[in-house]
Amino acid sequence: MSEATLPASATVASPLAVQRSRRATVSLTTLRVVLGLFFAIGSAFPKLTAHESATVSFDRIGFGDWFMYSIGGLELIGGIALLIPILSGVASLAFVGLMVGACSFSFAFLGGEFWYTPLILIVPLLFVARAQRDQTVRLLKAVRRQV
C-alpha cells in the first residue's frame, strides 16, 4: 500500500516514538512523580534548610555546608526535571551518577551506613531513563539544532 492510498486517519509514527499502553504511561508518570517528589522534598529539603539530620552526615564527610547545599540544589533541580517528560530521562541518568557518588561517600566517610539506599534508588532511575530514552534523544536533537 503506497502512501497515496493510506486513509486520512492513518498516521505514520516517528521512528523514535514509543507506543505505550495507557497503563504503562500512567505507571511511568506515577514513578516519575514519586521519584521527583522524593528527591525535591524528601531529600533536597533537609539539605537546603540545614536540618540536623543532614548537617550531621555532611559534617562527618568534612566538606562543609557548601557541599550539603550543592547536593541539595542538585536534588531539587533534578527532582523538578523528573516531572518534565522531555527532561526526565536526562535527570534520571544524572541521578544515577549522584547515587553512585552517594554510595561511594557512604563507604568512604560514613562507615557504610545506609549504603544500600542509593543502590535501591538506581533501579527505578534506570527504568525511567530507559523508558524515556526517546525523549532524551529528542532533547539532544533540539539542543544540537540550537548550537
Which stretches in the chain have pLDDT values below 50?
A: 1-4, 6-13
What are the phi and psi torsion angles at 132 (to 5°)? -100, 15
pTM to 2 decimal places: 0.81
Cβ-based burial of 80 (10 A; exposed 0-12, middle 13-18, buried ≥19): middle
Q: What is the pLDDT of residue 15?
A: 53
Q: What is the pLDDT of residue 16?
A: 57
